[in-house]
Amino acid sequence: MPFKELNTVMKKSLFFSAAIASLTAMPLVATAADIKIGFVTTLTTGGAVIGNDMRDAVNLAVEQLDSTMGGKSFEIIFEDDGFKPEIGKQATEKLVKEDNVDIVAGYIWSNVLMASYKAVTRADKVIISANAGPSAIAGKLCHENFFSTSWQNDQTPMAMGELLNARGVKSLYMMAPNYAAGKDMVAGVERTFKGEFAGKDLTKWGADAQLDFSAELAKAKASGADGLVVFYPGKAGGAFIKQYQQAGLSGQLPLYTIFTVDSLSLPNLQKANMDGILGSEMSMFWGPDLDNPTNQQFVAAFKEKYNRYPSHYAAQSYDAINLIASAANALDGDFSDTGKVREALMKADFESIRGSFEFGSNHMPIQNFYARKVVADDNGDWTTSITKTVFESHQDVYAAECKL
């Protein structure tokens, strides 16, 4: 008996080993493109709403460039971060080490970016954030190989504080999720808002994030504030708006939002008849109606192709690809010298959806910030419209801490 058993165990172990071996040795799909760009974003879980929008914008850019930059063919390799720093980090390592990409872009979440960027910089390649902008990487951890086509976290809430001053808000209630970016948002508003805080709430975030804000809304209402500012990205945003309206706060406590209401959440809000959001204002570096030819072209093409408005996530991703293309054009598609790639990127010589594009010393954009209002467009679809310029050529405060 033992011999027979030995035989089966050996056989099966060998089979198991062979299975692993054959899996690991599986040939990769060979790619013919000269230039490879990795793009890390969220393609699974609820965060995929944002990731899909970014991917659509990237694909639009690829189509418009006809898969060619600097005279060379290029391709985008998308990777999913699964909304987790650890998975995002591994995806980044894969792009750098296995796919041997020339440049990595993407990154929605600050924590995924923080976990991943070293994998790129250590390989002496360039990483471009198309969304995340934590203070550390704009300031003391800034890196010569890191660039951003979005913004630093503090900038948008700082614009919000300024907007509140302009709107005559004296007493403010603020709500945000209890994580690093949420706290950055609160701190940002505090920097520029001149009135007083009637109260603020940091709500539970993460795997079992709080989506019922009844307790906080009741407090906000009782506080006697004349303005309410919230930061709730993703699905929490839609949930918040519904409860804001259901609590009957719409005419009573004017709502201002940061990264909460966008073209991803508005169609859903419209379907649910949440008309309390119409007319509410937000601060943002961009809007679908921002008046410059590149942006008009981008928004029209995006709507044509996907039948919806692009979000700012899409706009930033579109800029990221075109920024890379500008470098490729300057270098005739040769990304082998990272120093030259940096120089070419730094010039930012491309048609941006912002109109003009300029990097600060820490490789974060120096840009305008606007106030946007939720409106219905000519077809009755809800969108946002720019009402005023809040900041001109604004640079983030952490640039001073960056020793580049």
Partner 1 sequence: MDWTLVLTQAINGLQLGILLFLLSAGLTLTFGIMDLINLAHASFFMLGAFICAWATLYFDSFVVGIVCAILGTALLALIVEKTVISHLYVRDHLDQLLATFGLILIADTAVHLIWGPAGLAIPLPSQLQGQVRFGELVVPTYRLVIIGVGLLIAATLYWLVNKTRAGMLIRAGASNRQMLSTLGINVKLLFTSVFILGAVLAGLGGLLIAPITEASIGMGNDIIITAFVVIIIGGIGSIKGAFVAALLIGFIDTFGRAFLDTIFALFMSVDSAETAAPAVSAILVYLLMALILVWRPQGLFPPKLR
Partner 2 sequence: MNGVPTLHRIGGGLVLLLILFTPFVMLWLGKPFWLDIFTRLVILAIAASSLSLLLSVAGLASFGHAAYIGLGAYAVGIPVYYETYGGADWLASYSGWWHVLLGVTVCALFALVTGAISLRTKGVHFIMITMAFSQMILYLLVALEEFGGDDGLSVDLRSEFVVPGAQVLGIPALNMEEPWVFYLVCFAMLLLVLFIVAKLRHSHFGRVLQAAKQNELRVKALGINPYRYRLLAFVVAGIFAGLSGILFANYAYFVSPSMVEWTRSGELMFMVILGGVSTLFGPVVGASVFVLLEHFLSRFTVFWHLPFGILLLVVVLFGRGGIIGMLKREPKT
Where do we find the tokens 């899909």? 52
CB half-sphere exposure, 223, CA atoms < 13 A: 24
Residue 325 DSSP SS3: helix
The binder of 212, among partner 1, partner 2, none, by C-beta within 5 to 8 A per type, is partner 1
Residue from 47, 111, 331, 359 touching partner 2 (CB under 8 A): that is: 111
The nearer residue to partner 1, 295 or 311, going by C-beta atoms, is 311
CA 11 to the chain's CA centroid: 51
Q: Which residues contact 300 (CB under 8 A, 6 or more apart)?
A: none
The rounded distance, in Å, linking the Cα atoms of 312 and 198 is 30
Question: Residue 14 Cβ, how far from partner 1 at the closest point, in Å?
Answer: 27
Q: Decide: 382 and 267 in contact? Cβ < 8 Å.
A: yes
Beta partners for residue 173, in sequence order: 199, 228
Mutual angle of helices 48-64 and 293-306, in 10-degree steps: 110
The binder of 111, among partner 1, partner 2, none, by C-beta within 5 to 8 A per type, is partner 2
Residue from 8, 31, 214, 389 touching partner 1 (CB under 8 A): that is: 214
Residue from 8, 214, 297, 356 touching partner 2 (CB under 8 A): that is: 8
The nearer residue to partner 1, 134 or 182, going by C-beta atoms, is 182
The nearer residue to partner 2, 111 or 250, going by C-beta atoms, is 111
The rounded distance, in Å, linking the Cα atoms of 233 and 21 is 43
The rounded distance, in Å, linking the Cα atoms of 346 and 340 is 10
The nearer residue to partner 2, 110 or 283, going by C-beta atoms, is 110
73, 184, 267, 395 from 323: Cα distances, Å: 16, 27, 30, 19
The nearer residue to partner 2, 89 or 394, going by C-beta atoms, is 89
Residue from 34, 61, 110, 128 touching partner 2 (CB under 8 A): that is: 110
CA angle 170, 259, 215 (to 5 degrees): 65
Site for partner 1 in 15-44 (CB under 8 A): 44
Is residue 31 near partner 2 by the rule CB under 8 A?
no
Site for partner 1 in 42-61 (CB under 8 A): 44-49, 51-52
> Hey, what are 332's tokens?
């005739």
Residues interacting with partner 2, by CB under 8 A? 1-2, 5-6, 8-10, 12-14, 16-17, 20-21, 23-24, 26, 43-44, 48, 80, 84-86, 89-90, 93-94, 97-98, 110-111, 114-115, 118-119, 134, 136, 140-141, 178-181, 183, 205-207
Residues interacting with partner 1, by CB under 8 A? 44-49, 51-52, 178, 200-204, 207-212, 214-216, 218-219, 221-222, 235, 238-239, 242-243, 245-248, 264, 268-269, 271-273
